[in-house]
């Protein structure tokens, strides 16, 4: 199976960023994609004006693209931040202010997956207190996601690029997923399996797939090294996606790679146009 019959979507926060936000859905559609995902687009505020939210909704609808995944507010991303929900003080407050805004916007466009990046360790803060704050905020986020019929995603990043982020392995993220589900009783917290980040951590990707597919709510890919398109590095992404399908994964696969020194529209030559529309 490999790349055939996958449900791909394009992450518009890493691809097509040479264009203004509101032009990216149409660019993805022109490249043959019908599904997209986004990090929180307004890094400067967790609570943008209603007019900005409405404009993004209109851009998605006009392009005929379905938003399948959205991050909650996560600070300066891309940049030094790796989330906000476990950061005491203003950042945690900003995350909480964002919960209902993000969930309501997701509901308005039919998005059913919300990603909550955990947040960096902070100098002078007790890690145990950060973890308690994280669980408290994740419970709030899981309840908001459940209100709109969505899943809450918890993602592991990689230690080389995110040395202060505590969830740098699949088991670490799964532990948080389990704690959230135990606290809420909702069962809607899921693992975001990013094969690039996990490979950067040196994990056995086949073992991760076999162990955690049942708890996985979304998958993202990029090749390694370089975080480029499939075929630019050494990962057998076609084989890994095939293994995921055989393990029972039927969700979307997010294309979260860098286009390199070319326009984003030229960074999909590895994938026939007929296989780009989500099924």
Q: Which of the following is catalytic: 37, 91, 203, 256?
A: 256
In a domain, 242, yes or no: yes
Q: How far is CA 148 from CA 50, 65, 152, 269, in A?
A: 19, 20, 11, 36
Q: 162: domain range? A: 7-268
Tell me, what's the pLDDT at 1? 52
Residue of 37, 91, 155, 203 marked active site = 155
Count structural domains, the chain.
1
- The whole-angstrom separation of Cα 73 and Cα 234 is 32
* 69 in any annotated domain: yes
User: Is 136 an active-site residue?
Assistant: no
Q: Is 276 domain-assigned?
A: no
Closest CA to 155 of 13, 7, 39: 39
Instruction: Tell me, yes or no, if 256 is annotated catalytic.
Output: yes
CATH assignment of the domain containing 110? 3.20.20.150
Low-confidence ranges of the chain (pLDDT < 50): none
User: What are the tens digits of pLDDT across the range 41-96?
Assistant: 999 999 999 999 999 999 999 999 999 999 999 999 888 999 999 999 999 999 99
What's the pLDDT tens digit per position in 206-227? Answer: 999 999 999 999 999 999 999 9
């Amino acid at each position: 199976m490999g790349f055939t019959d996958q449900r791909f979507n394009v992450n518009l926060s890493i691809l097509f960023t040479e264009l203004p936000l509101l032009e990216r859905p149409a660019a993805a559609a022109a490249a043959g994609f019908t599904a997209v995902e986004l990090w929180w687009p307004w890094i400067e505020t967790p609570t943008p004006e209603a007019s900005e939210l409405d404009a993004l909704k209109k851009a998605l609808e006009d392009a005929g693209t379905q938003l399948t995944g959205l991050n909650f507010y996560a600070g300066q991303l891309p940049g030094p931040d790796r989330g906000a929900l476990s950061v005491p003080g203003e950042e945690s407050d900003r995350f909480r202010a964002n919960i209902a805004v993000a969930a309501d916007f997701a509901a308005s466009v039919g998005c059913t997956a919300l990603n909550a990046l955990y947040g960096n360790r902070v100098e002078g803060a007790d890690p145990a207190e950060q973890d308690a704050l994280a669980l408290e905020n994740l419970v709030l986020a899981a309840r908001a996601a459940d209100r709109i019929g969505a899943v809450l995603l918890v993602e592991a990043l990689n230690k080389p690029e995110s040395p202060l982020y505590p969830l740098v392995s699949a088991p670490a993220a799964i532990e948080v997923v389990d704690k959230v589900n135990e606290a809420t009783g909702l069962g809607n917290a899921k693992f975001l399996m990013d094969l690039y980040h996990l490979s950067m951590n040196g994990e056995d990707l086949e073992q991760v797939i076999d162990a955690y597919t049942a708890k996985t709510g979304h998958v993202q890919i990029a090749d390694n090294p370089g975080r480029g398109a499939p075929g630019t590095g050494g990962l057998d992404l076609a084989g890994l996606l095939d293994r995921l399908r055989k393990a029972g994964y039927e969700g979307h696969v997010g294309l979260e790679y860098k286009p390199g020194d070319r326009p984003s529209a030229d960074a999909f030559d590895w994938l026939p146009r007929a296989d780009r529309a989500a099924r």
